[in-house]
Chain A
Amino acid sequence: EAGVAQSPRYKIIEKRQSVAFWCNPISGHATLYWYQQILGQGPKLLIQFQNNGVVDDSQLPKDRFSAERLKGVDSTLKIQPAKLEDSAVYLCANREWREDEQFFGPGTRLTVL
């Protein structure tokens, strides 16, 4: 079974620029999450999708962050404009409906200069 794919793996941008991350989940996993992991901290949930609908985006800074999940499969997370404090690893995770375990992708390491 293929795992969660994310791209790019690394991205360096200057503040006020825009950036987008892509996630391809495990086939059949209806629930998709984006987490932000700042260096030295545990991951924090940004947004949760069930199929292509948003379940929870209460922690997403909506003035600059946006996310979508096309046709309930792939998802993109965008930051526009980026700030220095957005430097972090952005993790995508999936789980099957009614299961507890989440499967994580390798993450995208973002550096904002």
Chain B
Amino acid sequence: GDSVTQMEGPVTLSEEAFLTINCTYTATGYPSLFWYVQYPGEGLQLLLKATKADDKGSNKGFEATYRKETTSFHLEKGSVQVSDSAVYFCALSTGGKLIFGQGTELSVKP
């Protein structure tokens, strides 16, 4: 069945460092791909999305490109801030349902 695999955390970075969180997926058909973020004590929020191959989603300095050839949707940010500390979930949408990865915890130190 369809599935999403993320790199394991926790990931600890210093402020202003470059961030990459890897995400690969397995799916039949052509899913939409998402990154959701969960800040401490808060609910899931959509960070960005891409609906077809080669689309790039971007928001708040974060970017991810839908790569059909490598079945990947890696999340990147050029310079992280302490306020980016959160858990990040990669997900795909198939038939209106979301399938999530296990989440990657990011901790940014000043």
Q: Does B17 contact A (CB under 8 A)?
A: no
Main secondary structure of the interface of B (DSSP, over half): strand
Check if B98 is an interface residue, CB within 8 A of chain A.
Answer: yes
Main secondary structure of the interface of A (DSSP, over half): strand
Inter-chain contacts of A35 with B (CB < 8 A):
98
- Minimum CB distance partner of A42 in chain B: B100
User: Would you call B51 an interface residue if the criterion is a C-beta within 8 Å of the partner chain's C-beta atoms?
Assistant: yes
Q: Are B101 and A42 in contact (CB under 8 A)?
A: yes
Name A33's contact: one of B45, B91, B97 (CB within 8 Å).
Answer: B97
CB distance from B8 to the nearest CB of A (A): 11
**Is A23 in contact with chain B by the CB < 8 A criterion?**
no
- Chain A residues near B102: list those with CB within 8 A: 40-42
The count of chain A contact residues (Cβ–Cβ below 8 Å) is 23
Listed residue (B51, B98, B100) with the most chain A CB atoms within 10 angstroms of its CB: B98
Q: Known A101-B49, A104-B44; judge A31-B89 contact (CB<8 A).
A: no
Whether A107 lies near B43 (C-beta < 8 A) is yes
